[in-house]
Amino acid sequence: MTGFLVLFLNAGIAPGSAGIADSDEPLLDGLKTIFGSGTAASILGLIAVTGLVASFHTIIFAYGRNIFSLSRAGYYPSARSVTHGSRNTPHAALIVGAVVGYMLCWIIREAGSGSVGAALLTMAVFGAVISYFMQTVAFILLRRNLPDIERPYRSPLGNAGAAVAAVIAVIALVSLFWNADYRPGVVGVAIFYVIAVAYFALHGRHRLVRSPEEAFAISRGGLRAEHAPPPAEEEPETVPAQT
């Protein structure tokens, strides 16, 4: 919602849509137009930076947890799931993710592929829209193959809404290749995906530790029955001794 407001409202004030299109800080430029370049705009810009810092820490937590979980399940090499001896944090996953991130920043900067931040964002969006598409496909297959399982929430849009979302994800995926400045980063992520799929096909799939969700899918909904606790044994009735 905030992004749409910035897009439409900032385009209606100076420096206009052409200036905002070339701006690296469209929100701050709009605030400067309204409040001037003084203290008020600086304070509001600082509040916006606070949100960016929070997002940065969230990304660190997310990539560490993702690498740790996928490694523990067998999708990544097991060394990535080692946790700290006293703090129990996935330090190996955090370090690996940070090193990969810094390497990507350096490669993009040295290659001269425009803004490093924009290129990294495009690479992240490439993975995100693939994830969105796969989720919509999984939703449709789950509705079709297991229509009677218990669901805590049912989407009111159903399969039609999932199909529309899948089409939007595909359009967004194709559009990422239109910008020549960001295309090398997107192609690099695609190559990484191919390597990851090959690793999984040749090695990872033989070392999987299935999660409850995966076991549920493989058993086609029979997980609950298989893992249900056994019924309690009835105690034999005691017959009072006759005298």
Residues 193 and 217: their CA atoms lie apart, in Å, by 24
Residues 196-222 have pLDDT tens digits of 888 888 887 777 777 666 677 677 665
Q: Where would I find the H helices in the chain?
A: 2-10, 16-21, 26-35, 39-73, 91-111, 116-145, 158-175, 183-202, 212-218, 223-227
Q: How many CB atoms lie within 10 A of CB 70?
A: 17
Residues 73 and 229: their CA atoms lie apart, in Å, by 25
- 227 falls in which pLDDT band (50, 70, 90)? very low
Instruction: Compute the Cα dihedral for 23, 107, 71, 130 and give only its sign.
Output: positive
Residues 143-190 have pLDDT tens digits of 888 888 787 888 888 899 999 999 999 998 888 888 777 777 788 888
Contact by Cβ (8 Å): 136, 166: yes
**Residue 57 pLDDT > 80, yes or no?**
yes
Q: The whole model's pTM is what? A: 0.63
Residues 81 and 94: their CA atoms lie apart, in Å, by 10
Residues 70-92 have pLDDT tens digits of 888 878 877 888 888 888 888 89
Mean pLDDT across the chain, nearest whole number? 78
Average pLDDT over residues 43-66: 82
The one-letter amino acid at 167: V
Who's near 35: CB < 8 A, 6+ residues apart? 41, 44
pLDDT for 164 = 94
Nearest to 142 by CA among 127, 120, 159: 159
**Residue 239 pLDDT > 70, yes or no?**
no
**Residue 127 pLDDT > 60, yes or no?**
yes
Q: Element (H or E) spanning 14, and its range? A: none
Residues 70 and 130: their CA atoms lie apart, in Å, by 17
Average pLDDT over residues 62-72: 86
